[in-house]
Structure 1
């Protein structure tokens, strides 16, 4: 039995998610000095911020998730926290584009261990009717982490720039400083958090073939689910990745002012949005609205589209900040429903792998694809760093609108999936697919 209460475990996992977003998001705030010192373009920065991170994060997410379905999850999470923290600190030792690229790849590898294992662990730890709210608390870490990266990253950079650290650049020192706390947290998780007791009764998890077979039982829903949330990930990650550059280039924010402005918005609006989303889903589901996750996420995506476009195209600084706050509030809504549906609809021995598939789509399409497309449009179509807002409006605005439409389109197939929710399928053997036994719960 775990020596800590479930609420403490949730807090530790949320804190790990917080550190993961600080470590990945600090790069966006440091775009100016990094580009100046390493002489890299917007496209190369997009590779660092997107592809480098998502490369192993996406590809190795599947085998790491398989481990989470088979073995105790807390040690896997703790090991990942320590790995990405060391890799973040190693970013501070980089002196070229490719060395920084490699370190970012290792950051992604470490962070790939967290979400699938944490989703699955929390789904086994709380009642289904409280799962959306619980996952919303976990997701708070992403916005608290990103907000802290913005809020404290600017002042930290300013302080470091006032000193000479053996010839190292200020941005390198920032990476070393923000990576260190994760080492301590990894050790705490390894020491305090243990596997849930009933999980130890699982003797033989299902094979990859059975996982694929379950996907093929409901191809319409899972395809629409993953594609729609990938598009919404394009919207959210584009705001994370490129809004600092937009504010500095167009509205001439200093690093300190940018950190305070974006940090406050990300923490307040992001946390409020993700928590509201989780609570709305729990409330609507309790009222019998079985498609609550799709309804909440689609409505929010539509509400985010117009203020997003306004925030990145207006020349009025006050309007840009206000519109960004509204857009970010609604853009954060899809995080709880995207994970909640998979934890409820997918058998427990497959949850981590389905979560990894969702994260693969988000990382490759949302983080890497969206960020790279914006950078490429800027460098090779508009040929101007000042066109960053137009590039963001085209990519992010379109993705948000299309994502909402696909979510509405997924409701009929989700109804079909819900209609089989009262049937329990035995996936604990390696029998052929057509021999799987079903029994009523």
Structure 2
């Protein structure tokens, strides 16, 4: 251990002190991550009021919720993660939260599409400093066998953020307007960021691992080479990218589908969709992490088989939900695929943390999240928006139904890649 690592570690806490430290850190990272997802979901929920005000097409909205955000998120993700592998991760997360929250507040001040796109660029650049460094911190707080569940608990910030974003966005659209909604959420993030820096201590790197050197970070080329050398890491990149294409497409377009195509009122969005989405996405993320934590004790193949099984459930149930005749039936049938579409998240993130060295984990997580964000967030919503616009002359408002149906072949490809990964997991874990 180098002198820098020894200083970083300090006196190792134990017993109740370590439990309390873990709890506070996980809770604060969860809170900051929730703000991250509220910022993303808010735009999806407010799509109809914003479209009415600024007259956006579905393709333009797909760009705003997907590619405009994802390009800057991805472009900044790896450089910020490399800083996180070399500097204080907690401070970095706090600074990033202030940056993305400031740009979120500025979304409420725009007057046209290009100004809003520019603000979303800023939100994406700031949020690049959130998830990957947070995963690295969690990996240094929990031992390998507990990481899938701990990461599952952390990534519950996604569904909880969807719930808060949907509920608050629907309420705000009816009572304070979409502009004030962005201002309020931005101010909340700016207030919470200093609390994170004050309450959470930077953990020692590699303290929860055995036989893992934590002396120096790997260059980016060597971090990337791990994904080339280990087949399970290659396959998790492919499977997760395709799964993210489906899940982000669903997440961004289901609210518009229910309101525009199925006739769901705005107040019902807050009353019914917000809790349904929050609970089901949470069940998928936490359930995926919990099941893998248990099943992987018997065989590491669980990192692939459980996400593949969830994808097999998603395909027929989502098709049935899209073909339903009313928003009530559609939402009821949507519960199973909304849970299944997020089951891959915690296993994929935990797998990367467990197969990479301590001082390369933020960078490795950022490499995986390039697939999440370029293929998933960047192209999934945009693909659906473009297909919807192309079908609109023939199908009208029903075009969104068939555009969402068009992502099911990508779900099938994701499931096949997840299952194919199982052949390589035992060998890579043994190494």
TM-score in same-fold range (> 0.5) = yes
**Which residue, out of 235, 238, 260, partners 2:271?**
260
Q: Which residue of 1 aligns with 2:107?
A: 91
**Which residue, out of 185, 191, 197, partners 1:190?**
197
Q: Which residue of 1 aligns with 2:210?
A: none
| C-alpha spacing 1:361/1:155, structure 2 compared with 1 (3 Å) | same
Q: Which residue of 2 aligns with 1:387?
A: 399
Listed as ranges, the matches of 1:11-410 within 5 Å are 11-160=27-176, 170-198=177-205, 202-218=214-230, 220-286=231-297, 288-383=298-393, 384-395=396-407, 397-410=408-421
Q: Which has the larger displacement, 193-202 or 335-344?
A: 193-202
Q: Distance in 1 between matches of 2:325 and 2:121?
A: 36
Q: How many residues get paired?
A: 408
Q: Distance in 2 between matches of 1:280 and 1:291?
A: 12
| C-alpha spacing 1:214/1:332, structure 2 compared with 1 (3 Å) | closer
Secondary structure of residue in 1 paired with 2:359: helix
Tell me the CA shift for residue 203 of structure 1.
4.7
| C-alpha spacing 1:402/1:198, structure 2 compared with 1 (3 Å) | closer
RMSD: 1.7
Tell me the CA shift for residue 152 of structure 1.
2.3
Tell me the CA shift for residue 313 of structure 1.
2.5
- Does structure 2 retain, via aligned residues, the 8 Å contact 1:150–1:260? no
- Does structure 1 retain, via aligned residues, the 8 Å contact 2:206–2:358? no
Q: Which residue of 2 aligns with 1:426?
A: none
| C-alpha spacing 1:38/1:382, structure 2 compared with 1 (3 Å) | closer
Tell me the CA shift for residue 262 of structure 1.
1.4
Q: Which residue of 2 aligns with 1:8?
A: 24
Q: Distance in 2 between matches of 1:269 and 1:277?
A: 12
The gaps in structure 2 that reach 5 residues or longer are 1-9, 208-212
The gaps in structure 1 that reach 5 residues or longer are 161-169, 421-441
Tell me the CA shift for residue 294 of structure 1.
0.7
Q: Distance in 1 between matches of 2:131 and 2:71?
A: 16
- Does structure 2 retain, via aligned residues, the 8 Å contact 1:132–1:281? yes
Q: Which residue of 2 aligns with 1:425?
A: none
- Does structure 1 retain, via aligned residues, the 8 Å contact 2:310–2:343? yes
Residues 374-426 of structure 1 deviation map (CA, whole Å, 9 limit, x = unaligned): 1111112443342101110111x222221111111111122321221xxxxxx
Tell me the CA shift for residue 181 of structure 1.
0.9
Q: Distance in 1 between matches of 2:107 and 2:53?
A: 14
Tell me the CA shift for residue 230 of structure 1.
1.0
Q: Which has the larger displacement, 381-390 or 17-26?
A: 381-390
Q: Which has the larger displacement, 270-279 or 198-207?
A: 198-207
